[in-house]
Chain A
Amino acid sequence: MNDLTTALGEAWRLLLSGDAEIWEIILRTLAISLCATALAMILGVPLGYGLARGRFPGRTLVLGMVNTAMGMPPVVVGLVVWLFFTRSGPFGGSGLLYTPQAMVLAQFLIATPLVIGFSAASIQSLPPALPDLLTSLGAGRWRRLWLLSREARLGLLAAVMAGFGAVISEVGASMTVGGNLRGSTRVLTTAIVTVTGRGEMATAIAYGLILLVLAFAVTLILTFVQQRRDA
């Protein structure tokens, strides 16, 4: 208990000291995870919409695959990306391995099934006649998609939160494709693993607290948007 109290005190001291490395890691963590979530939304929401409203052979099979991918272990995703981008892999010449871009790609692959699955479920929960209503009122394709997204925003923002929550907290994929390089690919989760390994518990707890605050802050903003009442 005494150790924990000491560690917490050390954590606060570290946070308030304005350590440049901590701020760099925080900003990198946010940038990579937000970027991956945004890309997952751009691809995942239209795909979720298509899966929810489309009628094509094999639709249930595709939905089943998406639902399975929602629980894919991040380290496996990281391993697959690593295999593609390692020197002997099909994209080995790209030089992306151990860069923030590779981490964005891995996190994007983790978040996308979550976004597709949550989006499809939220679009499916809308009244089936709603698209027809909007068309008959005069909405073109894009305005209809926008209005339907507004109607399904509870589920869509849950999709964002699930995607962001999954990628900001994962360590396996980031470690595998990022390599935890100081000053380049180190993010909060990989930093926690590193300093814990070195026995620097106070620093590990400080990083952990920052990670929690970051995740909470972003999710809180999304929750405010989600719960906003319609005029």
Chain B
Amino acid sequence: MSDVGLHQVSFQRDGRTVLDVESLRFPSRSMTAVLGPNGAGKTTLLRLVAGLERPAAGHITIGGERLSRDGAPRTALALSDAVFVRGTVRRNLDLGLALRDVPMAEREIRVRDAADECGITDLLDRPARQLSSGEAQRVNLARALCLRAEVILLDEPLAAVDRLTRRALLDDLPRLLRAAGATVILVTHDREEAFRLGERIVVMVGGQVRAEGARRDLLMAPPDADTAGLLGFLLLEDADGPVAVAPGELRAGPGAGGPQVGFTLQVADVLDLGRQRLVTGTIGGRPVELTLPEKAPSPEKGAMFPVHARSVVRLR
């Protein structure tokens, strides 16, 4: 068992509380994305689990055992900056194994296997500090994987890569991480990464956990406006109070698709895109974009235009 638990953990920096978690559990062998804006305390949480920081209060457990500074390392951390020591990729992959006293014969096998899985076999003898950003991220991941740790921690794994590499890594990462069989915690401020890589999602704002649960459950019912906003919902208000509208769920006119919640869109501009028209404007002061099919009636600039939403989550 390698579940990770935070128990009344708080952490302060320069006299300011940057993390305050009453209780949080990452189930064994689960893949959890910790989503939040900059300064939410995500990286601090990761550093605490990795043993790079010590909590001001509370404690952290892995597999039910308290994390201690002197104990053998049980986590593998891939930092957002793919930092390398001098030398080849092979030396970089081998370093952690050597530091953890893995026998030489096994080290070679592990390095070869991790390189193979991550598609970096042909990079093994290249200087690690001369890799492209995409190659560097793959090596960074391979270095964490070859440690075969119970817990894998990824800090913004796709933050510094170009769009093509990001897409390729988003395709590969779920398979690689699942194959590792470890408890995976990855922090990100990008909701696409969180949705693609996390079976479970933890939403953090201001150093506190705002929501946690299975990805699907959270998407069906975000508990508050901050969480809904981070999950990509459009935050609006109807006669009964604040609602979160799922992205792409706004429709023009009094549609025929059953009961819906209606809003009035103040039209700012109508752009002709050929077969479609893009209507931009505001609902209750919030900017909104709406794509209209060719045959739909076109609103005038400055007009009030009725729209409805199919998927609405009423916020508590």
A residues with CB within 8 A of B: 127, 129-130, 132-139, 143, 147, 150-151, 230-231
Contacts and interface: CB of A to CB of B under 8 A. Distances in A.
B81 A129 contact: yes
Interface residues of B, number: 23
B96 A230 contact: no
Given A129-B79, A132-B79, A133-B79, A138 B87 contact: no
Contacts of B79: 129, 132-133, 136
Given A138-B99, A138-B100, A231-B91, A132 B52 contact: yes
19 contacts: A132-B52, A132-B79, A133-B77, A134-B99, A136-B50, A136-B52, A136-B73, A136-B79, A137-B73, A137-B99, A137-B100, A137-B143, A137-B147, A138-B72, A138-B96, A138-B99, A151-B85, A231-B88, A231-B91
A231 B95 CA distance: 12
Interface of B: 47, 50-52, 72-73, 75-77, 79, 81, 83, 85-88, 91, 95-96, 99-100, 143, 147
B99 A133 contact: no
Contacts of A129: 79, 81, 83
What is the interface of chain A mostly: helix, strand, loop, or mixed?
A: helix
A230 B87 contact: yes
Nearest to A130: B83
A150 B87 CA distance: 11
A110 B85 CA distance: 32
Given A132-B52, A135-B52, A136-B73, A143 B99 contact: yes
A145 B132 CA distance: 28
Contacts of A230: 86-88, 91
Contacts of B72: 138
A151 B77 contact: no
B83 A127 contact: yes
A134 B50 CA distance: 12
The 10 nearest A-B residue pairs measured at CB: A230-B87, A137-B96, A138-B99, A136-B77, A138-B73, A230-B86, A138-B100, A129-B83, A127-B83, A129-B81
Nearest to A152: B86
Contacts of B83: 127, 129-130, 133
